[in-house]
Every structure is written in C-alpha cells, then in structure tokens.
Homo-oligomer: A and B are copies of this chain.
C-alpha cells in the first residue's frame, strides 16, 4: 500500500475517525470545507493542512463599514410593454432582494433600452419613492428594459449553500478590492490571517476577487448562472479605470448584451475582450501580492477553480504572474481532469472527486449506489489521468458520513492506490500520441477544455451532444490543442493533423461571423487539401453566405437545408460501410442529433435517418455521419456525439481517417471499444484499461502493431 497525494476533509467532531481513514487511503493532507471547522490539533492528522480562505467575503464588519465598496453587477430588468406613452418599470421585478439592491447613486450608469427598436432611450427618470424607472414618451407596443447597476449584498455561492443546505449562519456580504480602502484591507487581512494560522500549510483560496455570474430570482431560486460570466466584475472603480486606460467607456448594455451577458456561447466583442484583459490584469496584480504574503509565511497558495475565479483564468495571459503553487477543482469526468491537469505555471494540481460526502448520497441503505457513483466517476476520470495525470486527489464533504460505509471506504482505498500508480507512471513521461488534433472555436486556448460549459459541469440538453467530443478526447491517445480563429489567420501550427469544429450555428463554438471571413475559409480549405483532416460536429462552419449554410460544406461534404433550397433534388442518401464505423455495434448515439443535413454529391453517407413517414425516393433522410475526400485531405461530419465508449472509438477512427493515417491506428491500441491503451515510450510501459463494468476480451497491439489477446476484469487497469 502506497501513501500520499490524497487530501481528505475533516472537522473538529471527527478527529479519530479521520486518522483511521487517512491511514487506509494514504492521505497526507486534510482540509476544511465551507461550513466546517478544523480541529484544534489538526497538524497531528496529516503532513499538510489546507485552510479555506476568502478574499472578498467573511468579514461582515468591514463590509458594513464600507457599504459603497461592495461588488456590483449590471442587470437587465424584466421586459415592460408600453401600452401608452407612460411606462413604469420596476428594475427589481424577478430579482432577489436579499442578494442585490439597485445602486441608485450610480443612475448615470443605468440605461433604458427599447428592445423593439434596439435603441437607447435617454428620456427617463427615476422615482425615488417607488424605486421605478419612469418613461413619459414611451412608444406604445414597444418593449423596454432597464439596464441597471446593482449592489451585491450577499455572496451568491453562500446563498446557494444557505438555501440548499438550510444554513443559518450570518449572511456574508462582499467587498471589492477595486476600491482603495478595501484594496489595502485585503492585503492587511491576508497578513494577519497568515500570522493567526500557523497550523495551515496550504491557503486554499475560494477564490479571489470576482464571483462568476450567479443571480437569484424573487423566490431565492437560481435565475442566471454563467461559470465564465464577468457580470459581477463591473466595479465602478474598474469602469472608471478602464475608461482612463482604454480611452473609451463601457456602458451597461455592453455588459447586459440584450440579456445574453456576454456568456461564452456569444462570439466575444472587441469591447468584451478588452474588459476581460483589463480585469485579468487587475485580478492578477492583487492576487500576486496576496500570494507574496502567503509565501512570506512559508505557506502555499492554492486556487480553487470556481466561485470567485473570474479574471484568474488558468489558461490566461496573466495567470503565471500570480505565482500560485497549486490549483484544485472538482472532477466530474475526463474533461475536468484535463482542464485541471494541464494548467501551467503551478507546482501541482489537485482534483476533488465525486461523490461528495453529503447526506444526499450517504444515507442508510445507499452504500451500493455510493460505490457505483465512485466507480463511474473514477472510470471516466481515469482514462484522462492516464493521458495527463493530476498530482493529487481529494474528497469533500463530511468524512464521518463516508466512514459509515465500509465497502465505500475500501473501494476508495483501491482507487487511491490506483491513482498513485498512475501518477508515478504517467507523471514522468508523456504518453504516445498517434495524432495531434485541435479544437477550433472563438476562444482558443484561453478556454482549454472548457467549451460548451454553462454552469461548470451541469448537464444541459443543448450541450451534451457537443461536450461528448471533448470528453472522448480527454482519454484518447491524441495530443489535444485548442485554437482560435485568430490563430488560424496567423497560420495553423505545423504539428496539427486534424481540426475539429463543434457546436451550434451562431455560437462562439461553431464560429458564427468568423466563417464569413474568407481568410479563415480559404486557409482551412488549403490546409485540408494539402492532406489534413477537418471534422465538423453539429452545425460546424455555419454562416449563410454564397448559397451555402456551412461555409466549409465543400470540405465536410454536407450542408444544412434551411428551407431555401428544397427545390434542389438530393440523391445522395445511400448509407455506405466505412473504416470510421467498423467498431459500431447497433445504433450510433448522436445525442440531440441534427435535422436537415444533406450530403453533397461525392460525399460518402455513413449514417442517415429516415422519417417513418417518408414518401419519396429523393430529398429524404437526414445525414448523421458523412466522410468526404477533399484534395489530399478529408472532411468528416457528425450530427452530434455524446460521450460513450463506442462514440470515443468512432471519433478516434474518424480522426485517423481524416488525417489519412488509418494504417497507424493499431499501434499502442486495444481493439475492444470499451478498452483503451496508453503507452509511455520513456518507460516502455503500456496501461490497458477496461472502462466497462463487465469483463471483456480484447486484442492489445503494441507500438509496432504486434497483437495479443487479453482478458480484462471489470474496471481493470493492466500494466505491461
């Protein structure tokens, strides 16, 4: 049994139990959680003690003494329809009065927008008595909104915990270091706190200055959530500083954005990119000083990837300036593993695994389910860890609850050992990659492993069919890059074999107006014709122009019928067998799929759906999977691809085919789609994993293509 690399939660009422479990799991660190208190003798429990630290909340005394230095957010009111020329609008309708309050001292920053004509209305007043905005010359039958600046009077994440877990502790107010008094206060407080916490080895920042956008409705339920949202970074102090530096001012509507709030599905505007850059610089400069203090006291600074992480993007330009020691984040699958494990400029990266030790899972009689959830989480994470491991793992919640489930405790023991074995093997040498693939979207490397997320890892019907591509990639034997359209304009990196464009028309992930840019279109055409591969998923390269809906319809071999070319007969509806679909058993799962895709002449239709009622021999069927020769290169289209073992294999094959490297696929490869092989050239070791809950037989191929029949037990990892 090995030791180390594992962090467990503890609290003052479970000291002896913690010691026992720490021994079993080989844990070398303990941590508190939001809502628990560390025991007095915590140093005795493990080599390292993590302590949660909040920069902008937790000191209500300070907050109450400096009410103007709270955080702000620009919000759009409900829509009001003008019936006559007078219109009264309550900005707070639908918002949670416990969370926000209109900042009526900043009325000059408010805007009234006529949403019907998309114009700003200047002619309005604010009624102090009612709190309403009043128009006197409204245009009847136009819809209006108020873009108003609001003070944040309760930390959103605490609201969530409060309402979800029925907390009764004091409501944490916030204070914004963009204001000078709070700026020096947070540095001072850091120093004092370090002094007062000699037992702490690791300051776990939860997190820094600006919370991701999280707004509640009048019933205290979540109203708006964007894990990437800069909405709560709109400090008046920062707005003024921005104007001074950039020479132009940002207004409320620049942030409100018609109600879309510059969420990451929007193609970012120049203004918003300017603001992001500005905030990132501000955040890193404040955090850098906090970290200096932490280091001065011999402690490590760890960032929790979540909560107030806005402006501290780990793949951003200024992340390294903060001089952090570590990052920790929650692991929901392979994508979140890679999102964490590839973060540069830190000494180590830690993943918090599921399930949380909370009563919703750890109640009597639910032990088998808890073990199953652990297995599921571990298996999906493991394939990503084999490609690029985290340095540490951990759990959250109440350890005392987990301790009541002995089977669960035993299974975690095995998992911790397996984790350490993987880190030892994979942490030392880069694994063999058959290909280099690049995900192309408007964000590029800044949002590495983060595309299509809304509320961190939450499931949305509109995204899982696209997220599946990343989840599949997280454990496949390919090198993965994230590139932007600007990168393409500068020149596609020489090492890239395949570019993947995945997403819905009109979003930053598909690319929207970028596909109107002929420099991008011609650059990719040329690059594919020279012998590379291009894979499109969903509505790739979508931008109606020149009679096409997909700008690269010629590369993909398909286009989308948007009811403007129904008169054109489409005869290419015959399904063909293909290298890409060789491992498919039964139906392919395309998730939400895509309607109205048709194949161009010459493309190979690999899968097509026919309506039960189809009544013609042409113009029928919706293409789900297609392959297309394009010069010396190739294009592939997929309607969608939620993650599953079969789909990961399908993608793997599609990438090798697109790259014209089919012959090289069976190297360091395991034939059964439920299995995967990772090869570490430096140590000449192979790890073959079984992702299934059942035993499977598979042909293992070594790096030279020599094969051998193996049997793998459920969830087994086999080292060779």
Give A316-330 as 1s and 0s: 1 = Cβ < 8 Å from B's Cβ atoms: 000000000000000
Question: Does A703 interact with chain B (Cβ within 8 Å)?
Answer: no
Instruction: Determine which of B213, B265, B547 lies in contact with A566 in the assembled complex, contact meaning CB atoms within 8 Å.
Output: B265
Question: Does A246 interact with chain B (Cβ within 8 Å)?
Answer: no
Question: Does A410 interact with chain B (Cβ within 8 Å)?
Answer: no
Please name all residues of chain B whose beta carbon is closer than 8 Å to the beta carbon of A567 when the two chains form the complex: 213, 224-226, 229, 260-261, 263, 454-455
5 pairs across A/B with beta carbons < 8 Å? A141-B526, A143-B554, A224-B568, A225-B567, A461-B614
A561 to B460, CA, bound (A): 12
Say whether, besides A261-B567, A522-B141, A81 and B547 are in contact (CB < 8 Å).
Answer: no
Q: Could you tell me the distance in whole angstroms from the C-beta of A332 to the nearest C-beta in chain B?
A: 12
Q: Could you tell me the distance in whole angstroms from the C-beta of A557 to the nearest C-beta in chain B?
A: 13
Please name all residues of chain B whose beta carbon is closer than 8 Å to the beta carbon of A614 when the two chains form the complex: 461
In the complex, the answer to whether A563 meets B507 with C-beta atoms within 8 Å is: yes
Q: Could you tell me the distance in whole angstroms from the C-beta of A512 to the nearest C-beta in chain B?
A: 10
Q: Could you tell me the distance in whole angstroms from the C-beta of A664 to the nearest C-beta in chain B?
A: 28
**Extra contacts besides A225-B567, A455-B567 (14): CB < 8 Å:** A76-B547, A115-B547, A116-B546, A140-B522, A143-B546, A222-B618, A226-B567, A258-B547, A260-B565, A266-B564, A460-B616, A461-B614, A461-B620, A504-B562
In the complex, the answer to whether B596 meets A595 with C-beta atoms within 8 Å is: no
Question: Does A123 interact with chain B (Cβ within 8 Å)?
Answer: no
Q: Could you tell me the distance in whole angstroms from the C-beta of A314 to the nearest C-beta in chain B?
A: 21
Q: Could you tell me the distance in whole angstroms from the C-beta of A100 to the nearest C-beta in chain B?
A: 16
In the complex, the answer to whether A547 meets B116 with C-beta atoms within 8 Å is: no
Interface residues on A, range: 35 or more
Q: Could you tell me the distance in whole angstroms from the C-beta of A83 to the nearest C-beta in chain B?
A: 7
Say whether, besides A259-B568, A526-B140, A546 and B115 are in contact (CB < 8 Å).
Answer: yes
In the complex, the answer to whether A462 meets B566 with C-beta atoms within 8 Å is: yes
In the complex, the answer to whether A518 meets B259 with C-beta atoms within 8 Å is: no
In the complex, the answer to whether B506 meets A562 with C-beta atoms within 8 Å is: yes
Q: Could you tell me the distance in whole angstroms from the C-beta of A554 to the nearest C-beta in chain B?
A: 6
Task: Please list the residues of chain A having a beta carbon within 8 angstroms of any beta carbon in chain B.
Answer: 76, 79, 81, 83, 94, 113, 115-118, 139-143, 213, 217, 221-226, 229, 258-261, 263, 265-266, 454-455, 458-464, 503-507, 518, 521-523, 525-526, 529, 544-548, 554, 561-569, 571, 592, 595-596, 601, 611, 613-616, 618-620, 622, 631
A613 to B467, CA, bound (A): 15
Say whether, besides A83-B529, A595-B592, A522 and B116 are in contact (CB < 8 Å).
Answer: yes
A619 to B569, CA, bound (A): 38
A547 to B592, CA, bound (A): 24
In the complex, the answer to whether A115 meets B506 with C-beta atoms within 8 Å is: no
Please name all residues of chain B whose beta carbon is closer than 8 Å to the beta carbon of A561 when the two chains form the complex: 462
Number of this chain's copies in the complex = 2
In the complex, the answer to whether B504 meets A563 with C-beta atoms within 8 Å is: yes
Q: Which residue on B lies nearest to A459, using beta carbons? A: B615
Instruction: Determine which of B81, B116, B518 lies in contact with A117 in the assembled complex, contact meaning CB atoms within 8 Å.
Output: B518
Please name all residues of chain B whose beta carbon is closer than 8 Å to the beta carbon of A548 when the two chains form the complex: 115
Q: Could you tell me the distance in whole angstroms from the C-beta of A220 to the nearest C-beta in chain B?
A: 12
A113 to B521, CA, bound (A): 17
In the complex, the answer to whether B83 meets A564 with C-beta atoms within 8 Å is: no
Please name all residues of chain B whose beta carbon is closer than 8 Å to the beta carbon of A454 when the two chains form the complex: 566-567
A306 to B223, CA, bound (A): 55
In the complex, the answer to whether B258 meets A118 with C-beta atoms within 8 Å is: no
Please name all residues of chain B whose beta carbon is closer than 8 Å to the beta carbon of A518 when the two chains form the complex: 116-117, 142
Q: Which residue on B lies nearest to A596, using beta carbons? A: B462
In the complex, the answer to whether B506 meets A225 with C-beta atoms within 8 Å is: no
In the complex, the answer to whether B619 meets A461 with C-beta atoms within 8 Å is: yes
In the complex, the answer to whether B225 meets A569 with C-beta atoms within 8 Å is: yes
A221 to B601, CA, bound (A): 14
Interface centre among A139, A213, A525 (most CB of B within 10 A): A525
In the complex, the answer to whether B616 meets A459 with C-beta atoms within 8 Å is: yes
Q: Could you tell me the distance in whole angstroms from the C-beta of A281 to the nearest C-beta in chain B?
A: 25
Please name all residues of chain B whose beta carbon is closer than 8 Å to the beta carbon of A596 when the two chains form the complex: 462
Please name all residues of chain B whose beta carbon is closer than 8 Å to the beta carbon of A117 when the two chains form the complex: 518
In the complex, the answer to whether B223 meets A118 with C-beta atoms within 8 Å is: no
Please name all residues of chain B whose beta carbon is closer than 8 Å to the beta carbon of A592 when the two chains form the complex: 595, 611
Q: Which residue on B lies nearest to A118, using beta carbons? A: B546
Q: Could you tell me the distance in whole angstroms from the C-beta of A590 to the nearest C-beta in chain B?
A: 13
Q: Could you tell me the distance in whole angstroms from the C-beta of A389 to the nearest C-beta in chain B?
A: 28
Please name all residues of chain B whose beta carbon is closer than 8 Å to the beta carbon of A631 when the two chains form the complex: 83
Q: Could you tell me the distance in whole angstroms from the C-beta of A361 to the nearest C-beta in chain B?
A: 15
Say whether, besides A546-B115, A615-B459, A564 and B265 are in contact (CB < 8 Å).
Answer: yes
Q: Could you tell me the distance in whole angstroms from the C-beta of A684 to the nearest C-beta in chain B?
A: 41
Q: Which residue on B lies nearest to A226, using beta carbons? A: B567
Q: Which residue on B lies nearest to A522, using beta carbons? A: B141
In the complex, the answer to whether A565 meets B462 with C-beta atoms within 8 Å is: no
A48 to B117, CA, bound (A): 61
In the complex, the answer to whether A79 meets B562 with C-beta atoms within 8 Å is: no
Instruction: Determine which of B224, B460, B525, B615 lies in contact with A81 in the assembled complex, contact meaning CB atoms within 8 Å.
Output: B525
A454 to B503, CA, bound (A): 30
Q: Which residue on B lies nearest to A600, using beta carbons? A: B79
Please name all residues of chain B whose beta carbon is closer than 8 Å to the beta carbon of A523 when the two chains form the complex: 141
In the complex, the answer to whether B81 meets A554 with C-beta atoms within 8 Å is: yes
In the complex, the answer to whether B566 meets A460 with C-beta atoms within 8 Å is: yes
Q: Which residue on B lies nearest to A503, using beta carbons? A: B563
Q: Could you tell me the distance in whole angstroms from the C-beta of A292 to the nearest C-beta in chain B?
A: 35
The 6 closest A-B pairs by CB, nearest first: A258-B547, A115-B546, A141-B522, A259-B547, A226-B567, A459-B615
Please name all residues of chain B whose beta carbon is closer than 8 Å to the beta carbon of A507 when the two chains form the complex: 563-564
Please name all residues of chain B whose beta carbon is closer than 8 Å to the beta carbon of A222 when the two chains form the complex: 569, 618
Please name all residues of chain B whose beta carbon is closer than 8 Å to the beta carbon of A615 when the two chains form the complex: 459
Please name all residues of chain B whose beta carbon is closer than 8 Å to the beta carbon of A565 when the two chains form the complex: 259-260, 263
Q: Which residue on B lies nearest to A466, using beta carbons? A: B563
Please name all residues of chain B whose beta carbon is closer than 8 Å to the beta carbon of A620 when the two chains form the complex: 461
In the complex, the answer to whether A118 meets B522 with C-beta atoms within 8 Å is: no
A141 to B528, CA, bound (A): 11
Q: Could you tell me the distance in whole angstroms from the C-beta of A523 to the nearest C-beta in chain B?
A: 8
A455 to B464, CA, bound (A): 38
Please name all residues of chain B whose beta carbon is closer than 8 Å to the beta carbon of A76 when the two chains form the complex: 547
Please name all residues of chain B whose beta carbon is closer than 8 Å to the beta carbon of A554 when the two chains form the complex: 79, 81, 143
A567 to B455, CA, bound (A): 7
In the complex, the answer to whether A569 meets B81 with C-beta atoms within 8 Å is: no
A516 to B221, CA, bound (A): 34
Q: Which residue on B lies nearest to A566, using beta carbons? A: B454
A616 to B454, CA, bound (A): 13
Q: Which residue on B lies nearest to A525, using beta carbons? A: B141
Q: Which residue on B lies nearest to A263, using beta carbons? A: B567
Please name all residues of chain B whose beta carbon is closer than 8 Å to the beta carbon of A266 when the two chains form the complex: 564
Q: Could you tell me the distance in whole angstroms from the C-beta of A537 to the nearest C-beta in chain B?
A: 14
A221 to B83, CA, bound (A): 57
